[in-house]
Amino acid sequence: MKPPAVKLKTLIDSETLARRVAELGREISEDYKGESLYICCILKGAFVFAADLIRHIDCPLRVDFMRLASYGNATESRGKVKITKDVELSFEGCHVLIVEDIVDTGYTMKFLVDRLKLHKPKSVRICAMLDKRSRREIDVPVDYVGFTIGDGFVLGYGLDYAEFYRDLSDICVMETP
């Protein structure tokens, strides 16, 4: 199977990404100094970001994964969220940090935060590589933001289009013809 033909423009290059991820790791380390942390990485888009981020966090941590679906093969969120892989580790009484690739309308994050709070964590915070605040329909606090971006469909650095392009080292925006 071949990837869909798209025209890409670099939005954030790999060096800029690496610097910002290191900064986020230092901020998180400072905020959770002396505490342990439960990282909930949202698959599939955040796996590259989470892998890089945890190497810059200087506190004891455990990592688990959830997979949520809201896009499918489309470029627009359908607004409905379904869990396709749930967490496996207990995190009751723990500080939870959700690591997400992109926060857009807010529906997915609201759903996820509400769901995780059912497990009675000590706290739940969000770290997003990308934040599309201009598209927010539901107010969710994003505690750690890599980059705020405008409209446009982005891929690379874990983000995909129809499951392709996750392997790009830069974050690119898909240009329309």
Identify which has the larger pLDDT, 1 or 102.
102
pLDDT value, residue 88? 82
176, pLDDT greater than 50: yes
Domain ranges of the chain: 36-68+78-154
Is pLDDT at 135 greater than 70 in this prediction?
A: yes
Task: Record the pTM.
Answer: 0.90
Q: Among candidates 96, 117, 118, which has minimal Cα distance to 39? A: 96
Give the pLDDT of residue 72: 46
Q: What are 50's two structure tokens?
A: 């989470």
Would you name the residues annotated as active-site residues?
104
Dihedrals phi, psi of 43, to nearest 5 degrees: -85, 155
Q: In the prediction, which pLDDT does 134 show?
A: 87
Q: What angle do CA 88, 21, 78 make, to 5 degrees?
A: 55
Of 163, 69, 162, 152, give the one whose Cα is nearest residue 171.
Answer: 152
pLDDT, greater one: 85 or 25: 25
Task: Encode 112-128: b = buried (16+ Cβ within 10 Å), e = exposed.
Answer: bbebbeeeebeebbbbb
For the ranges 82-91, 97-106, 140-149, which has the lowest average pLDDT? 82-91
Has domain 36-68+78-154 been given CATH number 3.40.50.2020?
yes
How does pLDDT run across 55-80, given as a tens digit for each residue? 999 999 999 999 987 754 444 555 67
